[in-house]
Amino acid sequence: MNTNQRFAISIHALTLLAANSAPLTSEMIAGSVDTNPVVIRRTMAGLRQRGLVKSKSGAHGGWKLMRDPKQILLCDVYLSLGEDTVLAIHAHPNKYCPVGGNIKGTLQEIFSVTQNAMMDSLRQVTIADVLADVRAKGKK
């Protein structure tokens, strides 16, 4: 699964948890996302490592947020994926080609600016903001 999908699933799951006061099982979250519960468990493991969610086993167990939704920035969610960059550079361009031999440095500069702009944007949005927008769209 690519980073964009994992990021979207992470935001979806956190927003669903923010909308519910009771713990939600992986199966419940998977039902909303329309994916396999295994995908949700893997996704939630990264969010747990980042301190965004916690889980409890048992009959009344499930996933819960560890922070107020107003305190969970989308940049935190993105960082939970463990990806270094949004845009990857192909590994082995032809170093003897005038373009291939120089493209990596050029792309690194462009992609660095892009990455910084994206992270700046994600620092401005919380899970509470996403939930408010989802609820507003649901009223239309």
- Residue 96 in any domain: the answer is no
pLDDT value, residue 111: 92
The enclosing domain of 132 has a CATH number of: 1.10.10.10
- Residue 44 in any domain: the answer is yes
- List the domain range (segments joined by +) for residue 26: 3-84+126-138
Which of 112, 113, 1 shows the shortest CA–CA distance to 46? Answer: 1
- Residue 89 in any domain: the answer is no
Phi (first) and psi of residue 38, to 5 degrees: -65, -40
Angle at the Cα of 75 from the Cα atoms of 69 and 77, rounded to 5 degrees:
60
pLDDT value, residue 134: 97
- Residue 64 in any domain: the answer is yes
Q: Which two tokens stand for residue 65?
A: 């947020």
pLDDT value, residue 58: 83
Which of 21, 31, 72 shows the shortest CA–CA distance to 39? Answer: 31
- Residue 90 in any domain: the answer is no
- Residue 102 in any domain: the answer is no
Distance separating alpha carbons of residues 29 and 37, to the nearest angstrom: 8
Which portions of the chain are predicted below pLDDT 50?
none
Q: Which two tokens stand for residue 47?
A: 């969010």
- Residue 25 in any domain: the answer is yes
In the chain, the number of structural domains is 1
DSSP string covering 24-60, please? Answer: B-HHHHHHHHTS-HHHHHHHHHHHHHTTSEEEE-STT
- Residue 29 in any domain: the answer is yes
